[in-house]
Amino acid sequence: MATKSQTVLGIQEYENEQTAFSLPSDVWDHYLKYRPSYPDSMWNKWLDYHRGDIHTAHELGTGCGIGAAKLMNAAKARGQPIRQMILSDPADSNLKTAERMLQHRNQFPDAAFRFYRKRGEDSFLKPGSVDMVIACECLHWMDIRKAAASIHASLRPGGTFAAVHYSVPSMRIIDNERATDALRRLLVLQGSKQSTVMAFSNRLAELSKLGPGLNFVPLDKDLWEDVTRTWINIPEGQTSLPSWGVRTESSSAPSMTDAKTETFQWAQDVDGWGMKNCTLDRVKGMLATTYFCDEEMFEGDAWKDFENTVGKSGDSFPVAFFATTFLSRKRA
């Protein structure tokens, strides 16, 4: 049975040996309300990259199913509807939320949905039966070599493996370095709390992968081709996401990127990966969805310093998020 790990503004997150991120439906409502949305441009780029029809797609680590829903909407808008969507997650509560989100709507009347309580490392699909696998904000919770092998086996030759990771704690306040620095100091202070570090000692190895973004994912040139890695809203040439918060001395995951066989891209997209009218309430709501924030964080002097840099509570300000994606194709 899962045990309560931490409560943040009413958000309870659970962990056991099987489940790293298990949330009840009302907390997912909070998550979707405050977290940034995946931009349409990302889904269209993924669909442009893919070769052939997408009869069957699979979102692993689906959470509430938002990635599957967004991909299906984008494909439908292009006249390329996905006929079968597989959603897998190790947490029953997440799958129930995803099922409610997708099956109780009428926008995909011709699509079949299959839900599996499985980890990303589990091999449970028929080999070569899937056209596209997507992983949204979840690969850092997995034994990545086992997960990559399972994904590769499930894909048909030429099938697509696409993933995305973005960083809420490392958000940047556009044209306000003073506010960005204040937010960084707040999160570094929070991450340095011994109680916070100890609370997640069983998950620090997974969390430590966040700094490199998705660079820790192995895309072996003998198994994958046409690999494209993209870094968004970071300086060109930089291949790791700025990161602060809960860290350890062994927090660097080795980079598995290969500049000789992979294509590297950088993009500035503060419209797609940002918010023009963010508020203090929105920042607080976003931070509350992360593992290492607690209510005391928003009552201390560091938070008050951040508040003072962005104006009054009702004022709005633009923010940008650091993000990274990759696209890869299974070799025939």
Higher pLDDT, 2 or 221: 221
Residue with token string 């990127």: 257
List helix spans (H) across the chain.
25-34, 40-49, 66-77, 92-103, 144-154, 177-191, 194-199, 204-207, 280-287, 301-310
- CA-to-CA separations, 60 to 11, 48, 154, 240, in angstroms, rounded: 23, 21, 12, 24
Residue 132 domain flag: yes
- Does residue 183 form part of some domain? no
What confidence category does residue 5 fall into, taking pLDDT thresholds of 50, 70 and 90? Answer: very low
Alpha carbons 179 and 94: distance in angstroms, whole number:
35
Both tokens of residue 205?
Answer: 């190895």
Q: Is the pLDDT of residue 14 over 70?
A: no
| 161-193 pLDDT per residue, tens | 999 999 888 899 999 999 999 999 998 888 776
The structure tokens listed for 168 are: 């809420």
pLDDT of 6 strictly over 60: no
pLDDT digits (tens, 9 = 90+) for 145-160: 999 999 999 999 999 9
Q: Quick check: 210 pLDDT over 70?
A: no
For residue 8, what pLDDT band results from cuts at 50, 70 and 90?
Answer: very low
Distance, CA of 50 to CA of 53 (rounded, Å) = 8
Is 78 within a domain? yes
pLDDT digits (tens, 9 = 90+) for 215-254: 999 999 999 999 999 999 999 999 987 765 545 444 567 8
Cα 255 from Cα 214, distance rounded (Å) = 9
Mean pLDDT for the chain overall: 86
Residue 45 in contact with residue 78, Cβ under 8 Å?
no
Q: Does residue 315 sit within a domain?
A: no
Which pLDDT band holds residue 18 (cuts at 50, 70, 90)? very low
User: For residues 59 and 129, is the Cβ–Cβ distance under 8 A?
Assistant: no
Are 51 and 329 in contact, with CB atoms under 8 Å apart? yes
Average confidence (pLDDT) over 138-147: 92
Q: Answer whether residue 313 shows pLDDT above 70.
A: no
How do residues 270-281 score in pLDDT, each as one tens digit? 999 999 999 999
CATH of the domain at 164: 3.40.50.150
Overall number of domains in the chain:
1
What is the arithmetic mean of pLDDT over 45-62?
98
Q: Is residue 193 one of the residues assigned to a domain?
A: no
> In the structure encoding, which two tokens stand for residue 294, read together?
């607690």
In a domain, 157, yes or no: yes
Would you place residue 129 in the very low, low, confident or very high pLDDT band (cuts 50, 70, 90)? Answer: very high
Q: Which helix H or strand E contains 160, and what residues bound it?
A: strand 155-173
Predicted structure pTM score: 0.89
- Does any domain span residue 285? no
Q: Is residue 223 part of a domain?
A: yes
- Give the domain extent around 88: 17-174+209-275+321-330
